[in-house]
Structure 1
Amino acid sequence: MSYILDSARLLKSDRIQKTSLLINQNRIEFMRQTMENIRYMRMDLSPYLLTPGHVMVDFSLHSSLQFHGFKHLITHRYIKKGCTTVVTVANVNNENDLLSSVKEKRQLMINSPIDYYIGIKLPFKSLTPSLIRKCKRYNISVIFVDIEEHDNLLSKSWGWIRDAMFSNPITLVPYVNEETYSLIKKQKTLQIWDKIMNEHRLSSIPMILKEGEPISRDVLMRLGIYPIKGDLHVGGQVNYNLYQYDEVHNLSDGRPIIDFDKTYPVITTHQGKLIQVNGMVSFIPGIGEECFISISGRFIPHSVTI
């Protein structure tokens, strides 16, 4: 089925672009400012702000959850906020736990109604070259490194870590327990982390990613997820949100600001199908697909060269 999303105010690179999109077989076939001469069924999007489906990070979906708890979390923490793809994180204590933890996470996500990537979170001391090499075998491209206050970031043999990433770039993301970290200590830790990552040319995120918040385009680029997810482009997937335009705040320079904790989309579409309308969620278990990152950190200058 072909149709046109007409007169859309598309949020792209923090700016609004007026465009129309021709959708065919759940793919974006064509985009241009106007499609007045093309005869297809039209959806007038002029009252709305159109955004790509959000990508969010998750630390709460555990294998111990029963289906009801899993459904509740996915529905209220993610879908209602316009999330169409989640980066869900498996907890790994050490290298020996890697395979079992990833298997448990994949088993849990079989029922996911939205697409997902699988990453892992492990203690700083457990980050080793051999673990990184195993991550490639299990299609893991994102590692959250849990840093505690007593960890000495300079004590790690980062050169060996980099060597283990040759032809297998993995993005390292710092993770700290913000309840136990002071603001000053957290800022200092992140500064040291970023300096080490740059010196050793490792693919990394220089900030803490918060659960249940849309991941920015810049971070998605570093992870290697963008533009497959988090973007609306010709040939791309039909994953989008519609916000009431009059509920979006605009800065003096025209950039829109969405308070994602208070402002929810009125419509969320995943793979061309409505999954949320005015807070009513259509939860279809198993239609979400596991996605894989082909080249992590491909858009940043200090990423590992392969």
Structure 2
Amino acid sequence: MKYVMEVWDKYNKKDKKILVDNGAISFCTNSVESRKNVVVNTQNILVNSGKVTLDKDVGYAFAKGVGMSYIKRLLLHGYSSFIHVVDLEFESLTESKLKQSRTQLATCPTDYVHAVRVPLKRLTPSWVRKLKQLSIPLIIFTVDKHEEIIRFPWIRLIEAAFPIRTMFLLDQHQSVRSKRDIQSVQREWEQTVKNLRLNSYFHLPAYGEEVPLFFLKRLGMYPYKGSFDSGSHADYMMYLQNKIRITDMVVPDIIALRGTIVKSNNSWHLRGVVGKEMVSIIPEQFLPIAEVFQYNS
């Protein structure tokens, strides 16, 4: 079903019309398109795009049989997709750990991307090649001291990832402990990223917080997730504006995933809704030339 509706573009701070067709979004730029399709009246309704967050516990929740409750909580907070971080200590565990995670998320109703977190001192070119073959676009790493970053053979990792511009992120939260060491590691990492023009983002978002749009551009989830742009999936949250005026701590009245309504008022409609792992995204594919050397939002 095709339909047109007016939504809120939070990045440009204005309303705009979109055309939803088969679960995806394209722009509706003139009145002719509105006349040709069903128009959804969103007067007095705030329509926001679904957000993306980092998460490491959703697989465990599904394994324990409470996965749907976990996903509902994410949706009620406005998150329509997530980046699932899998901890790996050794390369030999890669296939089994990712297979386990993918099995756990087989019935997840939202879309997601897999990422891994590894100790930098154990990361090798062969491991990067394996992760590339397994469609992992994001490698988060931890370090014990800043010298690890200085001595690390980054060029070999870039070559192993080629032609994919795999995204590498320093996990400041799980690395060195003292504030002085954290600053030293961060400074060294930022210099390495700039010198080698790595695909990165300088600050790893916290779990449960919204991932910035620029981060999604570097990862390759944009334009599919996190915005109302041409090519985006029709993931959106609808709020009655009279509730928004009372408090910002409100839940969506209507939630849609790829154009399918999964919540209306107090009723959930998740039966038969199955999300997808986004294994075909290409890091930096839609990153504007002007933002190539930008590493913060």
TM-score interval, smaller chain = 0.7 to 0.9
Q: Secondary structure at the match of 1:197?
A: helix
> Offset of 1:117 from its aligned partner?
1.0
Any conservation in 2 of the 1:224–1:293 contact (CA below 8 Å)? Answer: no
**1:265 has 2:260 as partner:** no
The match for 1:227 among 218, 223, 226 is: 223
Q: Secondary structure at the match of 2:221?
A: coil
The match for 1:191 among 187, 191, 206 is: 187
Q: How does 1:111-190 map to 2 (within 5 A)?
A: 111-148=107-144, 152-177=148-173, 181-183=177-179, 185-190=181-186
Any conservation in 1 of the 2:149–2:189 contact (CA below 8 Å)? Answer: yes
Q: Secondary structure at the match of 2:39?
A: strand
The alpha-carbon distance between structure 1 residues 235 and 179, as it changes in their structure 2 partners (threshold 3 A), is closer
**1:301 has 2:287 as partner:** no
Q: Secondary structure at the match of 1:164?
A: helix
> Offset of 1:163 from its aligned partner?
2.2
Q: Structure 2, unaligned stretches of length 5 or more?
A: none
The alpha-carbon distance between structure 1 residues 106 and 44, as it changes in their structure 2 partners (threshold 3 A), is same
Q: Secondary structure at the match of 1:152?
A: helix
**1:15 has 2:2 as partner:** no
TM-score where L is the length of structure 1: 0.82
The corresponding residue for 2:3 is: 3
Deviations 1:176-222 (A, max 9, x none): 33698355543443222121111112111110221122211111011
CA RMSD, Structure 1 to Structure 2 (Å)? 3.0
Task: Give the Cα–Cα distance (whole angstroms) in 1 for the partners of residues 121 and 282 of structure 2.
Answer: 26
TM-score where L is the length of structure 2: 0.84
Any conservation in 2 of the 1:141–1:293 contact (CA below 8 Å)? Answer: no
AA matched with 1:27: A
Any conservation in 1 of the 2:82–2:112 contact (CA below 8 Å)? Answer: yes
Percent identity over the alignment?
Answer: 22
> Offset of 1:268 from its aligned partner?
1.8
Any conservation in 2 of the 1:63–1:104 contact (CA below 8 Å)? Answer: no
Q: Structure 1, unaligned stretches of length 5 or more?
A: 250-257
Most deviating of 276-285 and 45-54: 276-285
> Offset of 1:67 from its aligned partner?
4.7
> Offset of 1:148 from its aligned partner?
3.7
Any conservation in 1 of the 2:142–2:170 contact (CA below 8 Å)? Answer: yes
AA matched with 1:301: V
Deviations 1:57-92 (A, max 9, x none): 11113458535322232221x111122211111111
Q: Secondary structure at the match of 1:284?
A: coil
Task: Give the Cα–Cα distance (whole angstroms) in 1 for the partners of residues 274 and 210 of structure 2.
Answer: 21
